[in-house]
Amino acid sequence: METVVSGIRSTGNLHLGNYFGMIRQAVRMQAEYNCYFFVADLHSLTTHPKPLDFQQNVKQVLVEFLACGIDPDKCTLYVQSDIPEISELYLIMNMLAYKGELERVVTFKDKARKQPDNINAGLLTYPVLMAVDIIIQHADKVPVGKDQEQHLEMTRNYVKRFNSMYGVNYFHEPLAFNYEKNLIKIPGLDGSGKMGKSEGGKNAVYLMDKPEQIRNKIMRAVTDSGPEKPNSTKTDAIQNLFALLNIVSKPDTVQFFENQYNHCNIRYGDLKKQLAEDIIKFTTPFREKMEALSDDDLYIQNIRKQGAEKARITARKTLEDVREIIGIKAK
Ligand code: TYM
């Protein structure tokens, strides 16, 4: 059976982008693959969270994973920092990662632009840690959104480099995965590229948002002054709203607004109202489960412990193999 690995950084609540880019795939993959899903808490350290927030954020992602249908009986669900082997392999793989290629990574350049006072080495070597998450479990497939594509490409490079440097065929090359063939990017509400946690609260719809918050955010989403000619090309902002409608609404609802748009009689207010209600319908069951799970610390702790034990078995074996391959440990 093929192995699957994927994680989410514990930097805040999960939004529709996380759901459709990763979680929805992950929930389906649990039944078909040997799956490892985890909270990438070490990755969140690049922004120096406060210790109390750190713990709370880890718990929140675990709660959200579970509420969305990640099932610890069907997969291994764990927290990255509970697997110390990851940190050691990260150190080792850092020796195979070159500054020039790391500096060219799009996510690094973006982050460096957004946080010029905090361009730390962990931010630069973020793709190395991510590669380690993947290869320590020998993943074949990695369900992720479009924004992670380059990181997967780098993971494959590190695999090839390791194998060729040590003359082995030990790690294999993982692929980014989506059931729809192409990786997806859920757009944000501000008319620009992508829905994201770091793009600001108004750009993203969180699974945890209450109905009123969702209505407010959607009603404030960027639009334009409307089409002037029949069948005109949509601006990015409108294209984004239709993209969201496409993922949460029924096909005939989408078609209805498409027709109105093409006949130049669309009222964006109506489209937004419909979109908000359809998102609410979609996220409410998740929110309710999250609220119910939030108080059950013991249950969450147990799951975390069990997951760590399972994930460490494979991680330990990989690290031992690597120590032998590179000569730290005598054969
Ligand atoms: P993170 O925490 O930023 O996002 C988690 C997952 O959600 C996807 N995603 C999106 N997909 C579509 N449209 C969007 N607007 C959108 N926003 C986020 C991301 O592609 C991702 O799949 N580096 C990773 C975490 C990570 C990881 C790993 C993932 C660490 N190690 C190993 C896979 C394997 C990250 O920052 O994701």
In a domain, 322, yes or no: yes
pLDDT digits (tens, 9 = 90+) for 70-111: 999 999 999 999 999 999 999 999 999 999 999 999 999 999
pLDDT digits (tens, 9 = 90+) for 11-58: 999 999 999 999 999 999 999 999 999 999 999 999 999 999 999 999
List, by residue number, the catalytic residues.
111, 194, 197
> Are both 27 and 171 inside the same structural domain?
yes
How many domains, in total, are found in the chain? 2
> Are both 257 and 142 inside the same structural domain?
no
Q: What is the mean pLDDT of the chain?
A: 96
Helices and strands per DSSP (H, E), number in the chain: 14, 5
pLDDT, residue 95, reads 98
> Are both 253 and 308 inside the same structural domain?
no
Residue among 202, 133, 197, 198 nearest 171 (CA): 133
> Are both 162 and 48 inside the same structural domain?
yes
> Are both 281 and 313 inside the same structural domain?
no
> Are both 94 and 220 inside the same structural domain?
no
> Are both 320 and 171 inside the same structural domain?
yes
CA-closest residue to ligand 1 atom 37: 8
Cα of 163 vs centre of ligand 1, distance in Å, is 26
The domain that holds 69 is classified in CATH as 3.40.50.620
Question: Max alpha carbon distance in the chain (Å)?
Answer: 75
In a domain, 94, yes or no: yes
Tell whether ligand 1 has an atom less than 6 A from the beta carbon of residue 185.
yes
Tell whether ligand 1 has an atom less than 6 A from the beta carbon of residue 5.
yes
pLDDT above 80 for 260: yes
In a domain, 273, yes or no: yes
pLDDT, residue 86, reads 98
> Are both 133 and 224 inside the same structural domain?
no
> Are both 281 and 303 inside the same structural domain?
no
Tell whether ligand 1 has an atom less than 6 A from the beta carbon of residue 7.
yes
Tell whether ligand 1 has an atom less than 6 A from the beta carbon of residue 59.
no
In a domain, 188, yes or no: no
> Are both 219 and 86 inside the same structural domain?
no
> Are both 229 and 282 inside the same structural domain?
yes
> Are both 97 and 156 inside the same structural domain?
yes
Residue 187: exposure state from Cβ atoms within 10 A (0-12, 13-18, ≥19): buried
pLDDT digits (tens, 9 = 90+) for 175-219: 999 999 899 999 999 877 789 887 666 899 999 999 999 999 999
* pTM for this entry: 0.96
Is 29:143 a contact under the CB 8 Å cutoff? yes
Cα of 146 vs centre of ligand 1, distance in Å, is 9
- Domain membership of residue 219 as a residue range: 199-291
In a domain, 86, yes or no: yes
The CA distances from residue 156 to 177, 234, 302, 314, in Å, are 14, 37, 34, 20
